[in-house]
């Protein structure tokens, strides 16, 4: 196996060309590793010939996200669609239990052609995770090997905010008995949701939870019920996702969404940069706040290389 030098710029076009020539996922996997480990802002992913729906799946731990993604993989591959999945590991070490769990549940689909599942460690700052995941998602799109891309992430803390910047559609997976929808609204995932699923609808309270969600939104939002373990409601979910993609694909809706998302991501990176500059800053006790802000911004600007 040839060695790559991470200090030399990555030729993504070349990596993708190798992937297209090769039969199977190995070259794509290697390309992802390189992109994932490189400084995210130094990586330039070529424009895809055809844009692919990128669905971000978020929700509380154990809500059934992986099981549901497994069902969606089956539903999409049945129609001949090729599916790429990125699972963002919530617990950092790559061999973590959560990840292994994800792998096992998705395992049965891994051998079919047209399905590619890849996990990424959730390390670094929010901006860094978002930027690296963004690059990998765009790489999958540019590879031309997929018709849909799914990113699974646990909606805890900051990650679920990032998912809105990564995905064209945010699918919020929740379950009955979480108290009520307010809990999830407080958790912050609801503002970014484009489609909501109340999974584990085989448990009591699913219809009520779905009603709560419908009422809680000030906007029209599909709220569906699924039972991921037996596949109930998955056909409807697929239809809702496809309808959403159709809507995004007409006019400039997708361009606008992606451009806003990229701007949000850039803002986090800029914020992190400014914070890093500020942490090494030693200002005069008599300085005014205006002077401090000005100095920090000046420092951030002079140390930033375009």
Ligand X SMILES: Nc1nc2c(ncn2[C@@H]2O[C@H](COP(=O)(O)OP(=O)(O)OP(=O)(O)O)[C@@H](O)[C@H]2O)c(=O)[nH]1
Q: Does 102 bind ligand X (CB under 6 A)?
A: yes
Helical packing angle, 126-143 and 159-166, nearest 10°: 30
Binder among 27, 66, 119, 159 for ligand X (CB under 6 A): 66
Least distance (Å) between residue 24 CB and ligand X: 27
Name the residue nearer to ligand X (CB basis): 133 or 143: 133
Question: Where are the extended beta strands (E) located within the chain?
Answer: 53-58, 83-89, 115-121, 148-152, 169-174, 195-198, 223-225
Site for ligand X in 214-253 (CB under 6 A): 227-229
Residue 192 interacting entry, from Mg ion, ligand X, none, C-beta within 5 to 8 Å by type: none
As beta bridge partners, residue 85 has 117, 150
Binder among 52, 150, 200, 223 for ligand X (CB under 6 A): 200
Alpha-carbon gap, residue 227 to 234, rounded angstroms: 8
Q: Does 62 bind ligand X (CB under 6 A)?
A: yes
Name the residue nearer to ligand X (CB basis): 16 or 187: 187
Site for ligand X in 147-166 (CB under 6 A): 154
**Residue 131, SS3?**
helix
Q: Does 67 bind ligand X (CB under 6 A)?
A: yes
Contacts of 240 (CB under 8 A, 6+ apart): 195, 222, 224
Q: Total binding residues for ligand X by CB under 6 A?
A: 18
Binder among 30, 105, 211, 292 for ligand X (CB under 6 A): 105
Residues that bind Mg ion (CB under 5 A): 65-66, 102
Q: Exposure of 124 by Cβ count < 10 A (0-12 exposed, 13-18 middle, 19+ buried)?
A: middle
Q: Does 199 bind ligand X (CB under 6 A)?
A: yes
As beta bridge partners, residue 84 has 116, 149
As beta bridge partners, residue 58 has 172
Report the interface residues with ligand X, using CB under 6 A: 61-67, 98, 101-102, 105, 154, 199-200, 202, 227-229
């Amino acid at each position: 196996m040839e060695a790559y030098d991470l200090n030399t710029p990555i030729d993504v076009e070349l990596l993708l060309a190798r992937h297209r020539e090769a039969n199977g996922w190995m070259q794509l996997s290697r390309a992802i590793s390189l992109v994932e480990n490189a400084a995210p802002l130094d990586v330039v992913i070529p424009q895809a010939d055809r844009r692919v729906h990128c669905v971000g799946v978020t929700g509380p731990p154990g809500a059934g996200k992986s099981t549901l993604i497994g069902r969606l993989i089956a539903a999409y591959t049945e129609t001949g669609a090729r599916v790429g999945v990125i699972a963002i590991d919530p617990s950092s070490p790559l061999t973590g239990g959560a990840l292994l769990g994800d792998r096992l549940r998705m395992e049965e689909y891994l051998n079919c052609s047209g399905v590619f599942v890849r996990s990424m460690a959730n390390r670094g700052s929010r901006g860094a995770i978002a930027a690296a995941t963004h690059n990998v998602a765009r790489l999958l799109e540019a590879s031309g090997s997929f018709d849909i891309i799914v990113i699974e992430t646990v909606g805890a803390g900051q990650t679920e905010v990032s998912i809105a910047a990564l995905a064209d559609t945010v699918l919020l997976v929740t379950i009955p008995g979480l108290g009520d929808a307010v809990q999830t609204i407080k958790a912050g995932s609801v503002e970014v949701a484009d489609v909501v699923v109340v999974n584990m609808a085989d448990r009591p309270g699913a219809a009520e939870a779905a009603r709560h969600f419908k009422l809680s939104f000030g906007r029209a939002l599909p709220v569906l019920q699924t039972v991921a373990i037996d596949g109930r409601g998955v056909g409807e979910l697929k239809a809702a996702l496809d309808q959403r993609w159709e809507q995004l694909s007409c006019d400039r809706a997708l361009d606008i969404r992606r451009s806003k998302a990229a701007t949000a991501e850039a803002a986090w990176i800029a914020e992190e940069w400014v914070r890093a500059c500020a942490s090494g800053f030693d200002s005069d006790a008599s300085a005014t706040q205006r002077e401090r802000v000005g100095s920090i911004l000046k420092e951030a600007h002079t140390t930033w290389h375009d």
